[in-house]
Structure 1
């Protein structure tokens, strides 16, 4: 089910509603006051992001935003929730400049908000299984446009761009990893750490995947000018994800530095993995916030 902007505005129309939501997610299941150990209720303290025990002899206070990405921020919680909505509902993400324009905040604030949310879009921990596709892509502009001191850099396969390896479970999750090179040693660790042994792995004919047949059922697709999909023998799924990733970076963000590329790759992987979740994607990130 899609989550529309009208639904979002109706559910989170002001600061109090957003703070109540955070409080409910964090403390609705506590059986009693942590201070007086009495079954009581907590009432909002006007003008502060805090709630107080209603027992007049206790008056213990809880701060729902403490220890979350909302801690010590002076930006409205409505704005924070809206940024989460944008980053989970748009197909290709949202840039810091767009957040700056829409919220009227500084670029520094907008950039920080985006990256705080991206930290919550991490990869899963369970091993991928079934039919899994693995491939590598290269992110970066035309080498001739780089500064002279960077034009000599040789990364994966002798290409002067940043390699990313993605692992996709068909019908399931995708995980992406920014790597220094695409040698067999690094790819071996990525696959063994993320794919269940004995799964069916589909790759291209790159030599770094030659060992895969020792631990998995391996299908190597030979890519040439006459590419033909034969049944399940293809890497179209992971290549489709790479198209999405590259559109996000070049179209939405224009440029992404090596330092932060993993965060953007995680963001794209999260949205791709949960693309049919609709409203649940927003709630998932909101739950991780607290």
Structure 2
């Protein structure tokens, strides 16, 4: 179900509501005060992002934003929640300049908010299983826009002068993306074995770095040619579709992304793709990760 801007504004009209949400998410399952061990309630301290135990002999204080990306921030919690909303509701993300325009903050502040939220979007967890596609792509500009040193013969070749990226997609499930130094068999081996359950059906193209895959997985290599034809499940269309989304986000929304920060943008795209049918749940998934 789509989470609309009107619903968001109704749910989070001010900082007090946002702080109450963070408090509930962090401490709702805590049956008693950690200081006095009494089953008590916590009351909001006016003018501060803090709650205090209602026991007069205790008065222990909790700070819900401590240890989160909201700690010590002078930017309102509503603005933080709104940036999370934008990054989870837009198809191709939102740029730092757009955050700056909408919130009226400095670009430095907008850029930092975006990157802090992208860190929370990093994927991981259980191994992928079932039918899994793996492929590599390269992020970078056109040759005509590169420096002369990058166009020398020793710098040319598969992925050179561009940043290699490998994605692993479970059909009907999650995608995980990794920015790597090279697409050699060593890198690919560690990524696949660390993210895909053994004996899963693994579909790749005919690149030499995948030749070892058949020893540990049900490997289905796809030979690409000028007359591409999809035969049943023997294709890499899913991961290639994700690459199209990734490149549209980088070249369309952000215009340019440095190799230093590319992994964060890849994590953002992967998160949005993996949760693309979850609407409002995507927004609250980020909030849950913030308070963990």
TM-score by length of 2: 0.96
Aligned residue number for residue 262 of structure 1: 263
**In 1, Cα distance between the equivalents of 2:157 and 2:268?**
23
Superimposed CA distance per residue, residues 108-147 of structure 1 (whole angstroms, 9 cap, x where no aligned partner): 0000100110011111221111111110010010133123
Cα separation, 1, equivalents of 2:216 and 2:110: 45
Sort the Cα spacing of 1:95 and 1:155 in 2 relative to 1 into closer, same or farther, 3 A: farther
Work out the CA distance in 2 between the residues paired with 1:155 and 1:16. Answer: 56
Are 1:55 and 2:55 matched, yes or no? Answer: yes
Distance 2:215 2:81 in 1: 47
Structure 2: which 5+ runs fail to align?
Answer: none
Q: Which range is displaced more, 141-150 or 100-109?
A: 141-150
Q: 1:68 to 1:232 in 2, by over 3 A?
A: same
| Contact residue 176 and residue 270 of structure 2 kept, 8 A | yes
Contact 2:150 2:156 (8 Å CA) reproduced: no
Match of 1:36 in 2: 36
Gaps of 5+ in 1: none
Q: CA deviation at 1:34?
A: 1.5
Partner of 1:240: 241
Distance 1:39 1:233 in 2: 59
Query: Is 2:16 aligned against 1:16?
Result: yes
Cα-Cα RMSD: 1.3
Sort the Cα spacing of 1:192 and 1:128 in 2 relative to 1 into closer, same or farther, 3 A: same
Question: 2 CA distance for matches of 1:205 and 1:147?
Answer: 31
* 1:155–1:181 Cα contact (<8 Å) kept: no
Q: Report the equivalent of 2:194.
A: 193
**What is the number of residues matched between the two proteins?**
290
Number of the residue aligned with 2:107? 107
Q: Tell me which stretches of 4 or more aligned residues in structure 1 moved more than 2 Å.
A: 146-156
Whether the 8 Å contact between 1:155 and 1:180 is mirrored in structure 2 is: no
Residues 138, 163 of structure 1: 8 Å contact kept = yes
Answering whether residue 263 of structure 2 is matched by residue 227 of structure 1, we say no
Q: Displacement of 1:150 after TM fit?
A: 4.2
Task: Kindly indicate whether the alpha-carbon contact (under 8 Å) linking 2:138 and 2:159 is maintained by their aligned counterparts in 1.
Answer: no
**Whole-Å separation in 2 of the counterparts to 1:283 and 1:10:** 15
In structure 2, the CA distance between the partners of 1:19 and 1:181, relative to structure 1 (3 Å rule), is same
- The corresponding residue for 1:174 is 175
Normalised by the length of structure 1, the TM-score is: 0.97
Q: CA deviation at 1:28?
A: 1.6
Deviation track 1:186-208 (CA, whole Å, cap 9, x = no partner) reads 11111111111111111111111
State the match for 1:215 in structure 2: 216
C-alpha contact 2:138 2:164 (8 A) present in aligned 1: yes
